[in-house]
Structure 1
């Protein structure tokens, strides 16, 4: 089994290093330049995403409602409840920031492109994967801020006008415009998919840099050490493992899905979107000195899920196409 080298994960950590060494770059022109580029870039990401949506595949995916309920319930109910159970253990500000960073991770929607790619590799239900990955991001626009507002000190932020209107403006409207223009530019976005994928990653890297640069400048990371980061990684692995196991039991033992539907439930229900997390953090943690701390579990989760799900997808692919030994 061969694992592909993911340069994006390396780039994520390099941009964190850049934020540590040169945090002042974020303050160029009071941060307006980087913020403006990120805003336009985010809208373009979701516009291009809308151009990729295929209405026929979406209609085909609508039929399997039990699978959809499991995936979306896992994404927006199971994950948050797993972390919410530990809220009574929060006793001080550091505990709260640690807990909130994980809670933010659990409230996010599933990934889009990587989920579909992994489901395809593992011979899963691709139309259902496309439907669930697509609808998850739109549901997240509503559900993620709802979950977060119960625990996040929003200060002067108006959740309705500042968060929801901002998310609709930068995610929903571009997606809808892309879907409306899909018949005209759909082939173009497929032809240049690799280049557009690189553009997506660049915008995420800029948002990551900005979040960590602001946190390094504020000195928030001086309050935590390597032990903190080590425990974050351990809990990221534990969170993924527990959620994956629960979804596996529900899809195989309780709902008795066939193998393609099990694969789709596992891969779409157990993943979290770094792209959406980047956008949501911009609104939910506006001007927060702890933005880097809140972003850390999401980044580690993203890196881990890419690694482990690639291995699992290859395992399912080998089972579907066993080599014939003569």
Structure 2
């Protein structure tokens, strides 16, 4: 665990997110909508670039290899889009009256998000699991999330008396997420190998755009009174809620995989793909779904903390799985 803590301390992306939140808190006029750097306008271009890189980096061949394990795929997608929202219902019933409404909306948004591709596959590989099935599940989850995440969020917002233009949100998502992803896939036969050689630099671009979105999001929320309304107790609530989600779903995915009779490799895939949530898609999609919502900074807090927590805990689990006897 000490090794994991040292690695987390050296994670420049985590440090970058913290600095973005601090800078947004101290000088929100720089990154807010219409501010000094016009981050709200840059965000659209950044989101397009992120999903173009996702599209051109996805290996269709690896995706096809993992398609046969349909029972595993059903279990993973059920956890991602059904069990997670049901867990939120329990969390809301137990703690909803004690927590800010905007934070509970953020936890539901976390529950409605798809899985993440990169860390799901990396953790499955580290643990000696079924990597082709992990690639298939993580990619399928991302594609389903483009449609299911807005639908789930609109159902909750509508049930609470709010309004979310599902048609407009879907149009924005198709334009800024689906279109560049498809373009990337179409150009993969021509440019895929070239992009693979420079994957290190494309990953920097991907994470740099996410940091810009975090900075812009928090600048808008700080301008609206994020800290004056909620205080730093909000951070503690978010960490506890994210930990509850992660530890419950890790136990449930392992239990469900064993009850289904999966071998060790498929169990690993179920645990790591069924418990993950994407920040790479989550932050851009939040900007598209919630627009200029004054509490957008609160809404994305759960996914920011869950992302780091899942990396830390799952890397420890992956190492334990990797040491098992064949």
Fold-level similarity (TM above 0.5): yes
Alignment CA distance shift 1:90-1:267 (3 Å): closer
Q: Is 1:111 aligned with 2:109? A: no
CA distance 1:94–1:120, shift in 2 (3 Å): closer
Match of 2:282 among 267, 277, 285: 277
Other-structure match for 1:197: 203
Provide the residue aligned with 1:36 in structure 2. Answer: 41
Gaps of 5+ in 1: 322-326
Task: Find the residue that maps to 2:323 and give its secondary structure.
Answer: helix
Q: Distance in 1 between matches of 2:53 and 2:96?
A: 44
Per the alignment, residue 98 of structure 1 pairs with 103
Deviations 1:170-190 (A, max 9, x none): 111111111111111111111
What residue is the counterpart of 1:238 in the other structure? 244
Q: How much has 1:86 moved relative to structure 2?
A: 4.0
Does 2:166 align with 1:159? yes
Give the whole-Å Cα distance in 1 for the aligned partners of 2:127 and 2:95.
40
Distance 1:155 1:246, change over 3 A: closer
Which of 247, 255, 277 pairs up with 1:249? 255
CA distance in 2, matches of 1:28, 1:35: 5
**Residues 1:71 and 2:83 aligned together:** no
Are the structure 2 counterparts of residues 255 and 74 from structure 1 closer, same or farther at C-alpha, using a change threshold of 3 Å? same
1:209 positional shift? 0.6
Change (3 A) 1:29 1:213: closer
CA shift for structure 1 position 92: 6.8
Instruction: Kindly report the root-mean-square deviation, in angstroms, between the aligned alpha carbons of the 2 structures.
Output: 2.1
User: Is 2:160 the counterpart of 1:180?
Assistant: no
Counterpart of 2:157 in 1: which secondary structure?
coil
Does the Cα contact within 8 Å between 1:123 and 1:316 map onto a contact in 2?
Answer: yes
Q: Tell me by how many angstroms 1:28 deviates.
A: 7.0
Cα deviation code 1:175-229 (max 9, x no counterpart): 1111111111111111010100010001000111111111111113212233332
For residue 319 of structure 1, give the secondary structure of its aligned residue in structure 2.
coil
* 2:59 counterpart of 1:54: yes
* Residues 184 and 207 of structure 1: CA distance in aligned 2, closer, same or farther (over 3 Å): same
Which residue of structure 1 lines up, in the alignment, with residue 218 of structure 2?
Answer: 212
Long gaps (5+) in structure 2: none
CA contact (8 A) 1:90 1:96 kept: no
Report SS of the residue matched to 1:150: helix
Indicate how the Cα distance of structure 1 residues 126 and 31 shifts in structure 2: closer, same or farther if over 3 A, else same.
Answer: farther
Q: How does 1:131-142 map to 2 (within 5 A)?
A: 131-142=136-147
* Cα gap change, 1:224 to 1:250, in 2 (>3 Å): same
Distance 1:136 1:96 in 2: 27
* Number of positions where the alignment pairs a residue of Structure 1 with one of Structure 2: 319
Which residue does 1:292 correspond to in 2? 297
Alignment of 1:1-12 (within 5 A): 2-3=3-4, 4=7, 5-12=10-17
Pick closer, same or farther for the CA change 1:309–1:86 going to 2, 3 Å: closer
Query: 1:39: how far off?
Result: 1.2
Structure 2 distance, partners of 1:314, 1:37, is 39
Contact between 1:42 and 1:170, CA under 8 Å: does it hold in 2? yes
2:270 corresponding residue in structure 1: 265
In structure 2, the CA distance between the partners of 1:47 and 1:61, relative to structure 1 (3 Å rule), is same
